[in-house]
């Protein structure tokens, strides 16, 4: 039962992150997946270092998509940077455990 819950949470987080990925291809900001005050998952985009904790939200996943974050390794290929982040760097079990 617990494994099924974890897998369901991982799937939900993965879907939310993929939605964020599609929304962020042209954005210069940070994005995150947060648990909102009502318990729902929400994809957020913030500018200037705004933290979701200021709004009572729980940060579940965050990624800086300002060019300085990826340019050395990926040059101007933000989609490749985000794909690498989501596929190779995110610990989905850890993210799901905070839901």
For strand 30-35 and strand 41-46, is the pairing parallel, antiparallel, or unpaired?
antiparallel
Q: Are 31 and 19 in contact (CB under 8 A)?
A: no
- Whole-model pTM: value is 0.65
pLDDT, one tens digit per residue, over 30-45 is 667 788 888 888 878 7
Look at residue 7 and tell me whether its pLDDT is greater than 80.
no
List of long-range contacts for 7-10, beta carbons under 8 Å, 24+ apart: 9/96, 9/99, 10/92, 10/93, 10/95, 10/96
Q: Spell out the CATH class of 2-97.
A: alpha beta
Distance CA 87, CA 4 (A): 21
How do the domains of the chain map onto residue ranges?
2-97
pLDDT, one tens digit per residue, over 12-23 is 777 766 666 666
């Amino acid at each position: 039962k617990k494994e099924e819950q974890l897998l369901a949470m991982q799937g939900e987080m993965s879907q939310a992150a993929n939605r964020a990925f599609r929304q962020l291809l042209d954005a210069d900001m940070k994005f995150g997946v947060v648990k909102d005050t009502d318990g729902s998952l929400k994809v957020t985009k913030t500018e200037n270092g705004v933290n979701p904790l200021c709004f009572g939200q729980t940060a579940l996943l965050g990624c800086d998509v300002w060019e300085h974050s990826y340019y050395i390794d990926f040059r101007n290929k933000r989609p490749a940077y985000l794909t690498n982040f989501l596929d190779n760097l995110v610990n989905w079990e850890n993210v799901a455990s905070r839901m």
